[in-house]
Amino acid sequence: MDHRFITTALELPGYQITGTLGLVRGIVVRSRSAVGNFGASIQSIFGGNITILTDLCEQTRSEAYDQMAEHAASLGANGIIAVRYDATELMPGITEVLCYGTAVVVANLPVPPRP
- Give Cα separations from 101 to 15, 67, 73, 95, 115 (angstroms): 18, 12, 13, 20, 39
Residue span of the structural domain in which 74 resides = 3-108
- CB atoms inside a 10 Å sphere around CB 69: 24
Give the separation between CA 25 and CA 71, rounded to whole angstroms: 7
Number of domains forming the structure of the chain:
1
Q: Report how far residue 14's alpha carbon sits from residue 5's, in angstroms, rounded to the nearest whole number.
A: 11
pLDDT of residue 29: 93
The answer to whether residue 113 sits within a structural domain is: no
- Tell me how far apart the alpha carbons of residues 43 and 6 are, in angstroms, rounded to a whole number: 35
Is 115 within a domain? no
**42-88 pLDDT, tens digit each:** 555 655 566 666 788 899 999 999 999 999 999 999 999 999 999 99
pTM across the whole model: 0.80
pLDDT tens across 24-45, in order? 999 999 876 544 555 545 555 6
Q: What is the CATH number of the domain that holds 25?
A: 3.30.110.70
